[in-house]
């Protein structure tokens, strides 16, 4: 079933991990996808890998600077001009932190907020007028289970995800009259580069705390991005959808 037939999607952080799975899942469901990487080289590599899996995929890679509104606006306009529309934005790019407060460089706090929060505002600010003019669209942000309880170090990360929730809930209300749905997915611990370097003992400990008994796989998260992007989620907006094996409980 092609749930996103002929839809045009922009996915940030689409080169690996959760973002790569979102891109592949959207492509498998008939969408045309423009993925963003932090460098053109990594974006090109991801596209190459996808095309090797299926040469029919309609996918290209770009590398806007997500911390610059000017650069993001240019990227959004590029997509809308080239494909004639922009239906879905998956704001997935993000960085994490585990730094203790006493060691925290304030510049690192600013950098994390720019990537995790400002980029979501920038893409939405640039895309919303285009979506409104075409009759609607969907924005999906990436939150985290730490947006519920915080975490005991790396304060910028949970702070950024609380902000993502606020942005999501507020913009959902503001943009609903324009038929633009705004939601977030809140993954639990997910098996990507973000957690791959954890010692085996830590991974085991983490899994023991998760009621479903395992980490999430990128595909588990991508499935939620598919649901929210498609008409299956047509009456869902302002939602922070936890996909965490009940780890938040
Ligand atoms: P990852 O590190 O594997 O991938 C992160 C992606 O973000 C990459 O594609 C990278 O290119 C992109 N990115 C990072 N910095 C960037 C920058 N400055 N400019 C442009 N792109 C940049 O991480 P992941 O685990 O796939 O995480 C994806 C999202 O899911 C993030 O928002 C993260 O906070 C969130 N998340 C992950 C987990 C987890 O356990 N992995 C849990 C909760 C939420």
For 62-113, the pLDDT digits (tens) are 999 999 999 999 999 999 999 999 999 999 999 999 999 999 999 999 999 9
Q: Which of 11, 18, 122, 191 to mutate to test the pocket of ligand 1 (most atoms within 8 A of CB)?
A: 18
Asked whether 192 lines ligand 1 (CB < 6 A), one says yes
Is 27's pLDDT higher than 80? yes
What is the per-residue pLDDT for 249? 58
- Mean pLDDT, rounded, for 33-53: 98
Q: Say yes or no: CB of residue 16 within 6 Å of ligand 1.
A: yes
* Closest listed residue to residue 182, CA positions, set 94, 134, 120: 120
d(CA 84, CA 152): 46
pLDDT mean across residues, the chain? 97
Asked whether the beta carbons of 222 and 29 are under 8 A apart, the reply is: no
The pTM of the whole model exceeds 0.95: yes
Give the active site residue among 20, 57, 122, 157: 157
Contact 184, 142 (CB under 8 A): yes
The residue nearest atom 33 of ligand 1, judged by CA position, is 94
Planar angle of CA 148, 66, 149, nearest 5 degrees: 5
Q: Per residue in 109-148, pLDDT tens?
A: 999 999 999 999 999 999 999 999 999 999 999 999 999 9
157 a catalytic residue: yes
Distance 219 CA to ligand 1 centre (A): 14
Atom 17 (ligand 1) nearest CA: 38
Residue nearest to atom 31 of ligand 1 (CA): 94
């Amino acid at each position: 079933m092609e749930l996103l037939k002929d839809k045009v999607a922009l996915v940030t952080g689409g080169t690996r991990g959760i973002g790569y799975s979102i891109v592949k899942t959207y492509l498998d469901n008939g969408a045309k996808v423009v993925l963003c990487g932090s460098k053109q080289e990594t974006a090109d590599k991801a596209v190459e890998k996808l095309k090797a899996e299926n040469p029919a995929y309609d996918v290209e890679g770009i590398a806007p600077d997500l911390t610059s509104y000017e650069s993001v606006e240019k990227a959004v306009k590029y997509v809308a001009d080239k494909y004639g529309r922009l239906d879905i934005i998956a704001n997935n790019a993000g960085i994490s932190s585990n730094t203790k407060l006493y060691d925290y460089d304030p510049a690192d706090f600013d950098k994390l907020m720019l990537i995790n929060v400002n980029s979501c505002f920038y893409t939405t600010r640039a895309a919303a007028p285009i979506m409104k003019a075409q009759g609607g669209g969907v924005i999906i942000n990436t939150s985290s289970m730490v947006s519920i309880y915080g975490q005991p170090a790396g304060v910028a990360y949970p702070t950024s995800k609380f902000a993502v929730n606020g942005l999501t809930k507020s913009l959902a209300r503001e943009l609903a009259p324009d038929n633009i749905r705004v939601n977030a997915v809140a993954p639990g611990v997910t098996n990507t580069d973000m957690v791959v370097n954890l010692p085996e003992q830590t991974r085991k400990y983490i899994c023991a705390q998760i009621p479903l008994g395992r980490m999430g796989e990128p595909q588990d998260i991508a499935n939620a991005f598919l649901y929210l992007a498609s008409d299956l989620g047509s009456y869902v907006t302002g939602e922070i959808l936890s996909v965490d094996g009940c780890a938040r409980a």
